[in-house]
Amino acid sequence: MFKKGCCLLLFGIMLPTAAMQVAPNCPLTILDKIDQGLNQSPPHIQLVDEHLSNDCLRLLNAKMAGQRVRVALDLAGNHLQKKGLEHWFSHLPEDCLQTLRLAGNELGPTNVSILMSIIKSQPHLHVLDLSHNPLGKAGIQAVVNAAQTSRSLAQLGLTNCGLRGADILPLAKGLLATNIQALYLSNNTLTGQGFSELMEVLAQHPPLKKLVLNGNPLNDNDFSAIGNMLRKHSGLEALQLGDVRPSLNGVKALAQGLKANTELQSLAFFSNRLSDRYLSILLAGLDGHPHLRWLDLANNRITHQGADHLASWLDKQSHMSTLYLSQNRLKDGGVHRLSSAIKRHNNLKVLGLGHNDISDHGAQLLANVIKNHESITHLEFNHNAFGHDGAKSLAQALANNNTLIAIDISSNNLGDLGIAHLSEGLEVNQRLEHLYLMDNRIGDTGASHLAKALDHHPRLVVLGMQHNIIANEGHTKLKKHLKDNKAFKTLHMKGNLVD
């Protein structure tokens, strides 16, 4: 499959020249990263922000030439520019890449021909990420032209490329002749006629499964275009519209499109200043969706009134598995309104409730929900306002819960007393794998309670204790009690009082 190098005779053994390459200006740390990446299955080399020399690029290509399996290669942030890209490509083996990430390499319109050549030289390239490069309209045209010659290129990353509506006209005109299934266009300035034309084309592009538009300045007309696309494209599975700040009319247009599209499996709508009223309109568009499993509504303005809408909606969405509500305004009243619906939901696995100003009472309400819940595996409850009483309620829940494998209750007010309460539940719990307790004013006394509770825990893998007030005594006890745990791998202690 790959180009073969010549061989040298050394002590009677034939060795490929690639194995004999020396790179005087390539640090050993880079060589180690290349070798470690090639030893993974499948091979995945990450050389991010390394400012690679020409020697390193030559050695990288020589090592990839000896691979039988195509490589996932990440060269993001290396500032290759035109000269570095040309040098790398001049030694690049044909058909050796499955994934190529060239984000942040200052590639602009002058790199058009080399980008086309790279894509054409890799007929089985599946993922191409050109994010954080000022490609311009000419660069987009070149990428589309090359993509039309490849039946394997399925994922294209164009995040933060400084693209305006007119810049994506080549994409709109040429997309139907490609096999692109996932398109990442976040953090550009897409709007207007060019954006509308792209949505019209996407509506006619059956391979498309995922569309990411976070952080674009979309107006009401743009949302109407998205709504029309959703009505016509029955196969779209994932849509991300975070930080697009829709107006009331924009939310209505989107909801109408969502109502007609019943194949969607995941929707991200974070950081949109979504009020309770806007939320009710959005949920009406998602009402009864048979395949929706993942919903991200983090960093909005949802209060206990919006929680009422969510609770009613959840009762009709029995297949939902992931719900992010962090960084809203739920408080205890929101937890109260959601608790019954969550308790009845037997497919929910991931629940995000961080940054919601939830006190001890809200923690008690949540503890009653998860106490015997049979599906939730991951709970985000960080950056709230509960203390040792809330920790006592959560401890009782942990003692009875058999499904939770990760919980984050960082940045609350637990203190040593709260950790003492929590430890009582952890002594009984045999399921937890990831426990995060950062920034909770935990000292040596709390660390001692926790260490004894986690002694010989059968499954704990990671314990996050950063930014507490633990000194050497507490650190020593934690290490002593965790060292014989067969599954345990990582104790995070940065920002404590340890020498």
The stretch 229-250 carries a mean pLDDT of 96
pLDDT score recorded for residue 130: 96
| Sequence letter at residue 58 | R
Please indicate whether residue 491 or residue 12 has the higher confidence score (pLDDT). 491
Any domain includes 453: yes
- What is the per-residue burial (b if ≥16 Cβ within 10 Å, else e) of 127-162? bbbbbbbebbbebbbbbbbbbbebeebbbbbbbbbe
Any domain includes 472: yes
Q: Which residues contact 153 (CB under 8 A, 6 or more apart)?
A: 119, 125, 126, 128, 147, 178, 179, 180
Q: What φ, ψ does residue 402 adopt, rounded to 5°?
A: -120, 10
| Sequence letter at residue 316 | K
Q: How far is CA 24 from CA 20, 59, 197, in A?
A: 13, 10, 51
pLDDT band at residue 9 using 50, 70 and 90 as cut-offs: very low
**Domains: count for the chain:** 1
Any domain includes 56: no
Cα(344)–Cα(197) distance, integer angstroms: 44
Tokens of 8: 């040298």
Any domain includes 325: no
Nearest to 140, CA basis, from 83, 96, 98, 185: 185
Cα(286)–Cα(267) distance, integer angstroms: 10
Any domain includes 271: no
- Per-residue pLDDT reduced to its tens digit, 431-460: 999 999 999 999 999 999 999 999 989 999
Mean confidence (pLDDT) of the chain: 93
Any domain includes 372: yes
Q: What stretch of H or E contains 255?
A: helix 248-260
pLDDT score recorded for residue 23: 52
Any domain includes 469: yes
The stretch 323-331 carries a mean pLDDT of 98
Q: Is the pLDDT of residue 11 over 60?
A: no
For the chain, what is the largest distance between any 2 Cα atoms, rounded to a whole number of angstroms? 80
Q: Is the pLDDT of residue 407 over 90?
A: yes
Question: How far is Cα of residue 133 from the mean position of the Cα atoms in its chain?
Answer: 21
- Per-residue pLDDT reduced to its tens digit, 20-77: 444 568 999 999 999 999 999 999 999 999 999 999 999 999 999 988 899 999 999 9
Residue 390's beta-bridge partner residues? none
Q: How far is CA 212 from CA 107, 236, 237, 244, 330, in A?
A: 22, 11, 11, 11, 27
- Per-residue pLDDT reduced to its tens digit, 116-151: 899 999 999 999 999 999 999 999 999 999 999 999
Q: Collapsing DSSP states into helix, strand and coil, what is residue 169?
A: helix
Q: What is the CATH number of the domain that holds 388?
A: 3.80.10.10
Cα(334)–Cα(1) distance, integer angstroms: 58
Any domain includes 286: no
Tokens of 450: 């926790």
What is the signed CA dihedral for 423, 424, 426, 427, rounded to 10 degrees? 110
pLDDT band at residue 111 using 50, 70 and 90 as cut-offs: confident
The stretch 319-347 carries a mean pLDDT of 97
pLDDT score recorded for residue 109: 86
Report the phi/psi class of residue 195: left, alpha or beta, with left for phi > 0 and alpha for psi in -120 to 50: alpha
Cα(176)–Cα(409) distance, integer angstroms: 47
- Per-residue pLDDT reduced to its tens digit, 150-174: 999 999 999 999 999 999 999 999 9
Tokens of 464: 């996050």
Cα(158)–Cα(173) distance, integer angstroms: 17
pLDDT score recorded for residue 14: 39
Q: Is the pLDDT of residue 374 over 50?
A: yes
Give the domain range for residue 375.
Answer: 362-499
Q: Which of 60-74, 103-117, 214-228 shows the lowest per-residue confidence on average (mean pLDDT)?
A: 103-117
pLDDT score recorded for residue 333: 98
- Per-residue pLDDT reduced to its tens digit, 263-294: 999 999 999 999 999 999 999 999 989 999 99
- Report the share of the chain in percent with pLDDT over 90: 89
pLDDT score recorded for residue 24: 65
pLDDT score recorded for residue 12: 38
Contact 432, 407 (CB under 8 A): yes
- Per-residue pLDDT reduced to its tens digit, 469-486: 999 999 999 999 999 899
pLDDT score recorded for residue 19: 40
Please indicate whether residue 9 or residue 400 has the higher confidence score (pLDDT). 400
Cα(236)–Cα(202) distance, integer angstroms: 10
pLDDT score recorded for residue 484: 87
pLDDT band at residue 393 using 50, 70 and 90 as cut-offs: very high
Cα 288–Cα 294–Cα 299 angle in degrees, nearest 5: 110
Contact 287, 315 (CB under 8 A): no
Q: Is the pLDDT of residue 15 over 70?
A: no
